[in-house]
């Protein structure tokens, strides 16, 4: 058994410090909201206009592997990414502007909904509506 332990990353990669990597990380350091790959590209291109979308995807994947970012999957929209290491929380998806916001807290009590024989491991909760900006604009 010469292989890697279970869960150990095969492809680590992207460990070199480059302007592209700095640009991607910088976006997340300036913005607390979970961001889509396109949002990251557009924001990072303000600093580095030649940045390509493939590089953004590669860094997002790599930063998730390094546990510097966390993948945020939401129903029916492209995935978002946020800084890892936050407390348990959920998200609000505004269908006016499409932005996703972090919410604090959790109502809990989900175990009672699970049928016999099913094993509950985690849960996802997304609140949908209009954010403050879009409520006022409408």
Partner DNA sequence: ATCTCTGCAAATGTTTTGCATCAGC
Partner DNA sequence: GCTGATGCAAAACATTTGCAGAGAT
- The residue ranges that bind a copy of itself (CB under 8 A) are 73-76, 79, 90, 92, 94-95, 101, 103-110, 112-132, 135-136
20 near DNA, rule: CB under 7 A: yes
DSSP 33-68: S-B-HHHHHHHHHTT-TT--HHHHHHHHHHHHHTTS
Binding segment toward DNA, per CB under 7 A, in 27-35, 56-64, 98-106, 126-134 = 56-64
Least distance to DNA from the beta carbon of 28, Å? 15
Q: CA-CA distance, 6 to 50, in Å (whole number)? A: 38
Least distance to DNA from the beta carbon of 74, Å? 11
The residue to which tokens 């970012």 are assigned = 69
């Amino acid at each position: 058994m010469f292989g890697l332990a279970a869960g150990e990353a095969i492809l680590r990669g992207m460990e070199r410090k480059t302007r592209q990597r700095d640009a991607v990380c910088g976006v997340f350091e300036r913005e607390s909201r979970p961001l889509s790959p396109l949002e990251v590209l557009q924001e990072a291109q303000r600093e580095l206009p030649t940045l390509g979308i493939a590089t953004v995807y590669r860094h997002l994947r790599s930063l998730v592997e390094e546990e510097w970012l966390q993948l945020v999957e939401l129903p029916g929209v492209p995935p978002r990414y946020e800084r890892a290491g936050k407390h348990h929380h959920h998200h609000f998806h505004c269908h006016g502007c499409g932005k996703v916001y972090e919410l604090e807290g959790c109502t809990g009590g989900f175990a009672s909904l699970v049928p016999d024989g099913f094993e509950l491991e985690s849960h996802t909760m997304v609140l949908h509506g209009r954010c403050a900006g879009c409520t006022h604009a409408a």
